[in-house]
Amino acid sequence: MTTEARAPGRPPGLTGEDLLAVARDVFLERGYGGASMEEVARRARISKASLYREQPSKSALYEAVVRHWASAGRNAMRPALERLLAADDLRQGLADLAETMRFGILSEPVLAMRRLVTAEAVTQPEVARMYLEESWNANIRNLAEALQTVAARHGLQMDEADAAAADFTWLVIGAPLNARLLAGDVDASPVDRAVDLFLAGYRRRRAAR
Amino acid sequence: MTTEARAPGRPPGLTGEDLLAVARDVFLERGYGGASMEEVARRARISKASLYREQPSKSALYEAVVRHWASAGRNAMRPALERLLAADDLRQGLADLAETMRFGILSEPVLAMRRLVTAEAVTQPEVARMYLEESWNANIRNLAEALQTVAARHGLQMDEADAAAADFTWLVIGAPLNARLLAGDVDASPVDRAVDLFLAGYRRRRAAR
DNA sequence: CCTACCGATCGGTAGG
DNA sequence: CCTACCGATCGGTAGG
Q: Which of the listed residues B43, B69, B95 is the one where a domain comes to its end? A: B69
Q: Are B148 and B127 in a shared domain? A: yes
Residue nearest to nucleotide D7 (CA to C1'): A47
Could you tell me the distance in Å between the CA of residue A50 and the C1' of nucleotide C11? 14
Q: What is the pLDDT of residue A15?
A: 86
Q: What is the DSSP letter of B55?
A: S
Cα torsion A182, B129, B175, A167 to 10°: value is: 100
Q: Are A106 and A194 in a shared domain? A: yes
Give pairs for A75-80: CB < 8 Å, separation 24+. A75/A138, A75/A139, A75/A142, A76/A104, A76/A139, A77/A101, A77/A104, A77/A139, A77/A142, A77/A143, A78/A142
Contacts of B169 in chain A (CB under 8 A): 174
Residue B4 lies in a domain: no
Instruction: Provide the number of structural domains found in chain A.
Output: 2
Check which CATH number belongs to the domain holding B146 and give it: 1.10.357.10
Could you tell me the distance in Å between the CA of residue A206 and the C1' of nucleotide D8? 71
E strands, chain A, in order: none
Q: What is the pLDDT of residue B206?
A: 47
Instruction: Name residues whose C-beta falls within 8 Å of residue A21's C-beta, 6 or more positions apart in sequence.
Output: A14
Q: Which bases of chain C come closer than 7 Å to a protein CB?
A: 1-4, 9-15
Which of A6-10, A25-29, B142-146 bottoms out in mean pLDDT, i.e. has the lowest? A6-10
Contacts of B123 in chain A (CB under 8 A): 31, 34
The answer on pLDDT for A26 being more than 60 is yes
Calculate the average pLDDT of chain A.
90
> Residue B92 CB: number of other CB atoms within 10 A?
13
Could you tell me the distance in Å between the CA of residue A4 and the C1' of nucleotide D15? 44
Q: Which amino acid type is present at position B124?
A: Q
The answer on pLDDT for A4 being more than 50 is no
Q: Are A166 and A92 in a shared domain? A: yes
Q: Are A100 and A115 in a shared domain? A: yes
* B121/A182 Cβ within 8 A: yes
* A122/B183 Cβ within 8 A: no
Residue B1 lies in a domain: no
Q: What is the pLDDT of residue A185?
A: 80
Q: Are B91 and B107 in a shared domain? A: yes
Q: Are B129 and B170 in a shared domain? A: yes
Of residues B188 and A21, the one with the higher pLDDT is A21
Mean pLDDT within A11-40: 89
- Positions in chain B short of pLDDT 70: 1-12, 204-209
* CA dist., res. B196 & res. B192, Å (int): 6
Instruction: Select from A145, A170, A144, A159 the least CA-distant residue to A205.
Output: A159
Residue B175 lies in a domain: yes
Instruction: Select from B79, B35, B81 the least CA-distant residue to B61.
Output: B35
Q: Are A44 and A99 in a shared domain? A: no
Residue A11 lies in a domain: no
Alpha helical stretches, state H, B106-191: 108-119, 125-131, 138-154, 161-183
Q: Are B59 and B89 in a shared domain? A: no
The separation between CA A148 and the C-alpha centre of its own chain, rounded to angstroms, equals 22
Residue A86 lies in a domain: yes
Contact A161, A145 (CB under 8 A): yes
pLDDT tens-digit map of A128-176: 999 999 999 999 999 999 999 999 999 999 999 999 999 999 999 999 9
Q: Are B62 and B88 in a shared domain? A: no
Which nucleotide C1' is nearest B58 CA?
D15
Q: Are B99 and B64 in a shared domain? A: no
Check which CATH number belongs to the domain holding A20 and give it: 1.10.10.60
Q: A183: nearest CA in chain B?
A: B129
Q: Are B65 and B81 in a shared domain? A: no
Q: What is the DSSP letter of B44?
A: T
Of residues A145 and A205, the one with the higher pLDDT is A145
Q: Which bases of chain D come closer than 7 Å to a protein CB?
A: 2-8, 13-16
Q: Name the residue range of residue B22's domain.
A: 16-69
The answer on pLDDT for A69 being more than 90 is yes
pLDDT tens-digit map of A54-66: 999 999 999 999 9
Could you tell me the distance in Å between the CA of residue B120 and the C1' of nucleotide C11? 22
Q: Which of the listed residues A28, A49, A69 is the one where a domain comes to its end? A: A69
The answer on pLDDT for A84 being more than 80 is yes
Q: Are B143 and B199 in a shared domain? A: yes
Q: What is the pLDDT of residue A5?
A: 46
Residue A1 lies in a domain: no
Of residues B145 and A46, the one with the higher pLDDT is B145
